[in-house]
Amino acid sequence: MSERKVLNKYFPPDFDPELIPRRRGPKNSQQVVRLMAPFSMRCNTCGEYIYKGKKFNARKETVDGEDYYGIKIFRFYIKCTLCSAEITFKTDPKNTDYAAEHGASRNFEPWRDEEAGEEEDRLAKMEEEENNPMKALENRTTDSKREMDILDALQDIRARNARNERLGNSADLLAKMDMEEIENEEDLERKRLEEEDEKLIREVFSKIPSTSSTTDSPSETVTVKRKADAIEPSVHSLLSESSR
């Protein structure tokens, strides 16, 4: 059990990978792949419906002699889920789809019929224009009018987008100006508060020259704390005993 989980295998010293015989299969060998049905189909043998997305164990091979601008075309073989009849389909790179080939028919798909109807209408219109010059002139006039209407609608959309863009830029500019005004007001208010604090500090604390008894000592200043009111006390009453 543990031997199959090891990461390193033992290779003897005289191991030579070139001596291993290589299996050479046929050039166009079939491969067993797991796939889902690319479209809903009905078996031609028993009438069983096979829905899109049903999983099969299929055989895949490359179609010989067929390609689309160098793109290989592959063929797939599956079996019906009811009668085990063989069903084949192959890739269709031209239409980026798959094409039913043998054993089953593709179910009705309305968008495919719609595309085919549009192609038939276009061919009928071209044939009618070739046989009737007046009809061709009428069709060209109708097409020109339709193009003019489309261009007018496109011009209106562009003008509306430009107007909305100008309004958006104006709104952004106004918002930026409002933010700058708010910042300026905040700076002025902060500066005013700082000035008031400085004024209050100057009113509370003051420095006076010291009246020392020694004459040879340099003049000194003494910091005096005052009361924050209109009545100013005497200087000697605020000084300490040593300063007095």
pLDDT for res 215: 45
- Measured CA to CA, the distance from residue 152 to residue 3 in angstroms comes to 76
Beta-strand runs (E) in 80-216:
86-92, 97-102, 104-106, 205-209
Which tokens hold the place of 235? 């200087």
pLDDT for 140-187, tens place per residue?
888 888 899 999 999 889 888 888 888 777 777 777 777 777 878 888
Helix 110-131 and helix 133-204: axis angle, to 10°?
A: 120
Instruction: Give the bridge partners for 143, in sequence order.
Output: none
Residues making up the annotated binding site for Zn(2+) are 43, 46, 80, 83
pLDDT for 36-85, tens place per residue?
999 999 999 999 999 999 999 999 999 988 899 999 999 999 999 999 99
- Measured CA to CA, the distance from residue 92 to residue 97 in angstroms comes to 5
- Measured CA to CA, the distance from residue 163 to residue 109 in angstroms comes to 46
- Based on the number of CB atoms within 10 Å of its own CB, is 91 exposed (0-12), middle (13-18) or buried (19 or more)? buried
Start-to-end C-alpha separation, the chain = 103
Highest-confidence segment of 1-15, 89-103, 123-137, 185-199: 89-103
What residue type is 37 in one-letter code?
Answer: A
Rg (CA), the chain: 48
Top-confidence residue, 33 or 110: 33
Do the Cβ atoms of 222 and 239 come closer than 8 Å?
A: yes
Do the Cβ atoms of 74 and 90 come closer than 8 Å?
A: yes
Lowest-confidence range among 85-94, 131-140, 201-210? 201-210
235: left (phi over 0), alpha (psi -120 to 50) or beta: alpha
Top-confidence residue, 55 or 244: 55
- Measured CA to CA, the distance from residue 56 to residue 35 in angstroms comes to 6
Residues making up the annotated binding site are 43, 46, 80, 83
Lowest-confidence range among 110-119, 141-150, 175-184, 235-244? 235-244
Sorted by sequence, the CB contacts under 8 Å of residue 103 that are 6+ apart come out as 43, 44, 45, 80, 85, 86, 87, 88
Which tokens hold the place of 149? 């209407």
